[in-house]
């Protein structure tokens, strides 16, 4: 059962039991489908606001819960033209109350951007594990384990995410393929200077990203 069908069955089950004016949100990793289903399925007196708290790890289940899970993390809320403004404020305040900062995106922008920094990296981690032979895996060190950590996630969950956001993931794979082709060209042409410039640029960008993230946690 894919993500959209799961959300639809849950929302259909809870809809008749909700009081007029009730606020409903979610924690799904894709937003276009759940927002659309919620707006079509829930009673018109119910107020839905899409949410995606960007916290946690590849592990799932109560045994991996942490008291500080949401501290300093971002929650993306995805209002639409149909979103009740008061409900949006209430949902944002809820996430702030447990330590999160708020980013507003449309459901479409959410799925496109999160694909690039979450769904595509997960697919790449899985591919990096899948392509190895046993002899190579036996030599794997911390760097490989760090790079592929998310590949240890639940297959059913990530299948649903991939399929629910398949258009964005396919487009991201095409863009990545172009970058890989460019890297391959540099290697085949022995473009040492261009290769170093590219690596230094990427390293500087990641260093800045890490510094920015540390500042966010300290603020």
Domain with 95 in it: 3-105
* 56 pLDDT higher than 80: no
**Residue 21 and residue 37: Cα distance in Å, rounded?**
18
More confident residue, 25 or 5: 25
| Half-sphere exposure at residue 139, Cβ-oriented, CA atoms within 13 angstroms | 4
Of 26, 80, 74, 32, nearest to 50 by C-alpha is: 26
Q: Are strands 23-25 and 47-49 parallel, antiparallel or unpaired?
A: parallel
Residue 134: predicted pLDDT: 96
Q: Are residues 171 and 78 in the same domain?
A: no
**For residue 2, what pLDDT band results from cuts at 50, 70 and 90?**
low
* Cα 101–Cα 55–Cα 172 angle in degrees, nearest 5: 100
Mean pLDDT of 20-38: 96
Q: Are residues 147 and 208 in the same domain?
A: yes
- pTM of this structure: 0.91
Q: What is the pLDDT of the chain when averaged over all its residues?
A: 93
Count of structural domains within the chain: 2
Beta-bridged to residue 74, according to DSSP, are 54, 101
* Cα 130–Cα 134–Cα 140 angle in degrees, nearest 5: 80
Residue 202: predicted pLDDT: 97
* 1 pLDDT higher than 50: no
Examine the fold and report which residue of 76, 105, 134 is the final residue of a domain before the chain moves on: 105
Sheet containing 101-104: give its strands across: 51-54, 74-77, 101-104
Residue 6: predicted pLDDT: 84
Residue 181: predicted pLDDT: 97
CATH code for the domain in which residue 192 is found? 1.10.3660.10
Q: Are residues 131 and 189 in the same domain?
A: yes
More confident residue, 213 or 178: 178
Examine the fold and report which residue of 61, 82, 105 is the final residue of a domain before the chain moves on: 105
**Residue 160 and residue 29: Cα distance in Å, rounded?**
10
Kindly state the tokens that stand for 124.
Answer: 């790449």
> Tokens 């929650």 identify what position?
75
- CA distances for 35 relative to 8, 47, 50, 178, 198, angstroms: 10, 11, 6, 32, 39
Q: Are residues 101 and 116 in the same domain?
A: no
Q: Are residues 134 and 45 in the same domain?
A: no
- Percent of the chain having pLDDT more than 90? 84
**Residue 159 and residue 171: Cα distance in Å, rounded?**
17
**Residue 24 and residue 90: Cα distance in Å, rounded?**
10
* 44 pLDDT higher than 50: yes
Q: Are residues 89 and 134 in the same domain?
A: no
Residue 215: predicted pLDDT: 81
Q: Are residues 96 and 179 in the same domain?
A: no
- CA distances for 185 relative to 181, 188, 190, 200, angstroms: 6, 5, 8, 18
């Amino acid at each position: 059962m894919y993500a959209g069908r799961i959300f639809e069955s849950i929302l259909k089950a809870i809809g008749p039991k909700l009081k007029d004016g009730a606020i409903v949100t979610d924690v799904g990793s894709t937003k276009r489908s759940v927002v659309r289903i919620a707006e079509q399925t829930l009673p018109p007196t119910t107020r839905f606001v899409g949410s995606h708290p960007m916290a946690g790890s590849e592990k799932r289940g109560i045994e991996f819960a942490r008291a500080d899970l949401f501290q300093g993390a971002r929650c993306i809320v995805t209002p639409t033209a149909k979103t009740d403004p008061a409900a949006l404020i209430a949902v944002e305040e809820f996430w702030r109350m447990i330590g999160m900062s708020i980013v507003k995106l449309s459901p479409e922008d959410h799925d496109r951007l999160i694909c690039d920094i979450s769904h595509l990296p997960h697919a790449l981690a899985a591919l990096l594990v899948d392509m190895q032979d046993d002899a190579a895996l036996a030599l794997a060190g911390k760097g490989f384990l760090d790079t592929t950590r998310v590949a240890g996630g639940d297959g059913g969950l990530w299948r649903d995410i991939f399929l629910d956001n398949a258009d964005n993931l396919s487009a991201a794979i095409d863009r990545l393929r172009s970058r890989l082709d460019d890297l391959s060209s540099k290697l085949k042409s022995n473009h040492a200077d261009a290769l170093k410039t590219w690596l230094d640029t990427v390293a500087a960008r990641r260093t800045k990203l890490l510094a920015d993230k540390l500042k966010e946690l300290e603020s």
